[in-house]
Amino acid sequence: MKHRLEQSTNALSTLIEKRGNTFYPQFHLAAPAGWLNDPNGLIYHDGLYHAFYQHHPYSQDWGPMHWGHATSTDMIHWQHQPIALAPGDDYDKSGCFSGSAISHEGKLYLFYTGHNWLAAEGDDSQIYEAQCVAISEDGIHFEKKGIVLPPPEGYMHFRDPKVWYQDGKWWMVVGARDEKDQGQVLLFSSETLFEEGKQWSTDYIILGKTDDKNVYMWECPDFFPISQDNEFAIVFSPQGKRTEGYQYRNLFQAGALIGQWSPNQPFKPQGHFVELDNGHDYYAPQSFMTPDGRRVSMGWMDMWNSPMPSKAEFWSGCFTLPREITFDKSKNRLCMVPVKEVESLRQEKNTIKPLTLSHQSIELIDNTSAIELDLTWSLDSQAEKFGLWLGEGLELFVDNQSNRLVLNRHYPQYNISGARSIPLPEGCQLNLRIFIDRSSIEVFVNQGEYTLSSRYYAPQDARSLRLFAMSGDAILLSGEYWRLNHIG
């Protein structure tokens, strides 16, 4: 692998030289150049947070998957590290696909999917996928150890292992597609994490499976406790789901199924699949534990097959901010708020005085390249719509006709246009905590009850932020904002 790592590092250096910055994030993790998709191997190990990611260092397009790598002391300020995994061995000939990390007895273990096209490259009808491991003593350089879990009989699409330790055993969930092309999550267990020359048993139980005939694959499963009462969430990214009204509007979704589970029991779902984020660009989130016991998750803030204008700058894809996940039992929903460490990015605080907007718009910030904004609106308004405009192509507003909060984008020059929305929360106030980077917006609604994450593509000199109300009055009860520091 050493030679291939060197080659890919050289290729990446050439791309870094060419990389443009119009859309490149100032406080979100992205590859230094080239392509990025899923977060992989998120973990706190030996005093540092590690984030790996699906990476193609040779170009801004998806290609044979490598694992890019970055480390951080606070999940916010990231330092790029050498590429961790390069494909090309017998068991990962066509790619080192997604997976997770384990910190065990001082070593860092990466569990990933060895992907192999058996016919033509890109022909998904003939593939071989098996779970592999690579181990590191120093947290930077990895030695591949080959396959630890081959696919059980009847499974060809079998990928994205997430491993954890519980009740004296190691457990692994893997995303799968059965012989009838239905999405599932399979659960495996093992007494030992890794033993030279030994594999995990292919005995499995089906932890969860689709109840929607159109869903042919569940990718990137994650599985974790959400309460003290054996309540667990399976978080996964289904493929094939059709739109239903306002829901599942993205090509693919990422969301959660909540239920009861204890070792050696089936998972008993309570409720249905619920999207975890309601913006345009959110996929394949993965969670990990902080040393002080918070469950934190990051997702890929982009979408398969979306136009990606940043490709013109020789890079594509970035992560969401790290978000703490909690469970709201009364609503049977997972909530997400940015980790408290994001506050370390804040410069001086600006307070916005309460104001009433009467069929007008006002400029709040002339240039929004890196901003955190906290706005509390009264929901007692007769305006047809009110909220904010970012440049010319993005608006976030309360639509008083449909009773929804809408995030609408319109960049016809990039073939990007369309709205995502959520029901307005109950109560008479709406709190919006908003993070705006050079090409992304993340909106946390009423302390994380809902989130909307989307990419936007306004020219650098046209990113002013305006507050508006149309056809009636809207009341901003309070507001503040901060310019944010760059992380790089």
Which residues are catalytically annotated?
Answer: 38
Radius of gyration (C-alpha) of the chain in whole angstroms = 22
Nearer to ligand FRU, 204 or 386 (CB): 204
| The two three-digit tokens of residue 127, written as one number | 């593939």
Interaction of residue 399 with ligand FRU, rule CB under 6 A: no
| The two three-digit tokens of residue 22, written as one number | 């119009």
Q: Among 146, 172, 168, which residue's Cα sits nearest to residue 159?
A: 172
Nearer to ligand FRU, 121 or 138 (CB): 121
Nearer to ligand FRU, 156 or 352 (CB): 156
Q: Among 207, 187, 326, 186, which residue's Cα sits nearest to residue 268?
A: 207
Show the binding pattern over residues 178-197: x = contacts ligand FRU (CB under 6 A), - = does not: --------------------
Residue 172 CB-density burial (10 A; 0-12 exposed, 13-18 middle, 19+ buried): buried
Nearer to ligand FRU, 65 or 70 (CB): 65
From CA 48, how far away is CA 50, in angstroms rounded?
Answer: 6
Q: Which one of residues 159, 323, 455, 463 is an interface residue with ligand FRU (CB under 6 A)? A: 159
Q: Which one of residues 92, 219, 277, 442 is an interface residue with ligand FRU (CB under 6 A)? A: 219
Interaction of residue 160 with ligand FRU, rule CB under 6 A: yes
The DSSP string of 347-392 is EEEEEEPPEEEEEEEEEEES--SSEEEEEEEES----SEEEEEETT
Interaction of residue 314 with ligand FRU, rule CB under 6 A: no
Q: Which one of residues 42, 215, 284, 458 is an interface residue with ligand FRU (CB under 6 A)? A: 284
From CA 395, how far away is CA 468, in angstroms rounded?
Answer: 10
Question: Least separation, in Å, of the C-beta of 461 and ligand FRU?
Answer: 34
Show the binding pattern over residues 28-67: x = contacts ligand FRU (CB under 6 A), - = does not: ---------xx---------------x----------x--
Nearest position to ligand FRU, beta carbon:
97
Q: Are 38 and 56 in contact (CB under 8 A)?
A: no
Nearer to ligand FRU, 113 or 421 (CB): 113
From CA 2, how far away is CA 6, in angstroms rounded?
Answer: 6
Interaction of residue 98 with ligand FRU, rule CB under 6 A: yes
Subset of 65-94 contacting ligand FRU (CB under 6 A): 65
Nearer to ligand FRU, 40 or 376 (CB): 40
Interaction of residue 97 with ligand FRU, rule CB under 6 A: yes
Strand ranges, E, within 272-370:
274-275, 283-289, 295-300, 315-316, 323-328, 333-338, 346-352, 355-365
Beta bridge partners of 226: none
Q: Are 387 and 399 in contact (CB under 8 A)?
A: no
Q: Which one of residues 75, 84, 220, 465 is an interface residue with ligand FRU (CB under 6 A)? A: 220
Total residues interacting with ligand FRU, rule: CB under 6 A: 13
DSSP structure class, residue 19? -
Question: Least separation, in Å, of the C-beta of 99 and ligand FRU?
Answer: 8
Interaction of residue 173 with ligand FRU, rule CB under 6 A: no
Binding residues (CB under 6 A) for ligand FRU: these are 37-38, 54, 65, 97-98, 113, 159-160, 219-220, 283-284
